Amino acid sequence: MTGTEFTGERLIGKCRSGKFHIGGHNHTINHGPGGHKDTAMHVSRVSIAVNMVLTAGKLAAGILGHSHAMISDAVHSASDVFSTFIVMAGVTMSAKQSDKEHPYGHERLECVAALFLAFILCATGLGIGFGAVREVISGEVKDAAIPGLMALMAAIVSIVVKEWMYRYTIKAADSIHSSALKADAWHHRSDALSSVGAFAGICGARMGFAFMDPAASIVICLFICKASLDVLRDALDKMVDKACDEETEKAIKGTVLTSPGVVRIDGLKTRLFGPRMYVDIEIAVDPDLNLQQAHAISREVHDTVEEQFPQVKHCAVQVNPFNREG
């Protein structure tokens, strides 16, 4: 197989610490099984603690403040605690070492956890939406009590805290390429959005528009279902051997071309494997080299790619004789 020759400046700088730069931006990634699991577990423990406090506070504020939207928000926060336990289970199972029956490892189990979380997230949103629609149809909204100031304050606190939790979690998820942790981050963001809806509904109800409280719950439903689809799409991409992003492929090519003895890149294929990635690359070398010399070049390419791209689980290198006409 002969591919198009790749030329261009080196895009990625060598650094054994796990830090690298792409397009002038610095990144720090620890993709080893231990670092991946430790990061996910730490973020998950923080998430559970915050959600438990928020759930209790929102439920109390919703009941005492007579707000259906805030009670719905509390249910959503409670579901976040359950979802985080699923994240922890998925990450723990995916971190297991390869064995005879699973020689390629267990990383995709984390994607399975993310799929489960996506369905839970969608079910939560639909439940909130159906409850609000039933309240409007039954006419209960006319007799509903006006939400108190406590419910309004709880919504403001929830918006601030959950948006911070989203940013904290998504940053960690992106750094270790974790679908499950990304799903949990979107649980936080959807909770923040639901609190925005609750805030709007409570304000409207206090101004005499009682219908705005259940209406806010319907808006919450739409936000949550949209987030669940995003999580589902990301998890499926990592289960069906989707190629990595174009920027990463360019960076890999740039790195390989700096390896001594590599004349040209004939082909490059990448595929996502849970939070990790497999790389298959074909390089062209001087056809006059002996087998031992060609093997040394391929070994150098293999080691360099796996060292500078910690997300890469394995790099397979095929050596072709350089043909100027190819």
Structure tokens at 35: 């670092």
Report whether pLDDT(318) > 90.
Answer: yes
Which residues face 21 on adjacent strands? Answer: 26
- Beta-bridge partner residues of 214: none
The pLDDT of residue 261: 92
pLDDT tens-digit map of 264-316: 999 999 998 877 889 999 999 999 999 999 999 999 999 999 999 988 988 99
- The DSSP annotation for 122-138 comes to HHHHHHHHHHHHHHHHH
Q: For the whole model, what pTM was predicted? A: 0.64
Average pLDDT for 80-107: 82
What's the whole-number average pLDDT of the chain?
78
Strands 264-273 and 25-28, by their bridges, are unpaired
Write down the pLDDT at residue 304.
93
Tokens found for residue 319: 């050596």
> Could you report how far apart the first and last alpha carbons of the chain are, in Å?
9
| 249-253 contacts at long range (C-beta below 8 A, 24 or more positions apart) | 250/8, 250/11, 251/11, 251/12, 251/20, 251/22, 251/309, 252/12, 252/279, 252/281, 252/305, 252/309, 253/6, 253/8, 253/11
Task: Please name the helix (run of DSSP H) or strand (run of DSSP E) that holds residue 241, with its range, or none.
Answer: none
pLDDT at 302: 94
Q: What is the pLDDT of residue 315?
A: 93
DSSP strand pairing (312-321 vs 276-285): parallel
d(CA 20, CA 163): 28
